[in-house]
Structure 1
Amino acid sequence: MKPSLLPSGRQRGIPFLLPDDWTPEQALAVVELLDDLRETIWNHYQIPLHELLRELYAPTSSEKFAINEPDDPPF
C-alpha cells in the first residue's frame, strides 16, 4: 500500500494514528484545537513565515520574464 501524502508532502516520520471511535464532537474539538494552534503560531511568527513562504514559492527571475511563444495558449 502506497503511503498517502500529507499536506506538507512528507512521506517519512513517526506514524500518527487516529482513533476510529471518536464521536463527531471529539473530532470537531481536535479540529478546533488545531485551528487555534495554527492561528496562534501565525500571529506570533507572521512576518518570518510570510518571508519564508515568499522565498519558497516566489517565481525565479527566469520564470518572471519567460516569454510565451505566440502559438502557446495563455492558459
Structure 2
Amino acid sequence: MKPDPQPSGLRRGVHFLINPEWTPEQALAVFEFLNDLADSIWSHYCVNLQELIQEQQRTPTDHSDIETVPSSF
C-alpha cells in the first residue's frame, strides 16, 4: 500500500524517525510546537504564501495553438 502523499506534494524526502518511547505528552508537545511554528510562518509570510500557493495551483496554459490576430485588424 502506498503512503499518502505529503501536503508539499513531495514523494521523497527526509524520513523523520519518531521515538517510539515518547509519551503522549511529549508527542503532543512536538505537535503543538510544529503548529506554533506553522502559525508564525503564516503570520509573517501570509500574502507571499497565498500568492505562491495560487501560482502552484494554476494549470499551465499552452497558447501555441492560438492564432494571432494581425495588429492592423
TM-score range, shorter chain: 0.5 to 0.7
Contact 1:5/1:11 (<8 A) preserved? yes
Percent identity of the aligned residues?
A: 51
Q: Indicate the RMSD between aligned Cα atoms, in angstroms.
A: 2.3
Q: Structure 2 length as normaliser, TM-score?
A: 0.66
**Equivalent residues in 2 for 1:1-75, closer than 5 Å:** 2=2, 5-58=5-58
Unaligned runs of at least 5 residues, structure 1: 62-75
Distance of 1:47 and 1:2 partners within structure 2: 34
Task: Indicate the structure with greater helix content.
Answer: 1
Cα shift readout 1:16-68 (whole Å, capped 9, x = no counterpart): 1111111110000001000100000000001100111111224677xxxxxxx
State TM-score, norm by structure 1.
Answer: 0.65
Unaligned runs of 5+ in 2: 62-73
SS where residue 43 of structure 1 aligns?
A: helix
Q: Which amino acid aligns with 1:15?
A: H
Moved more, 19-28 or 51-60: 51-60
Q: Which has the larger radius of gyration?
A: 2
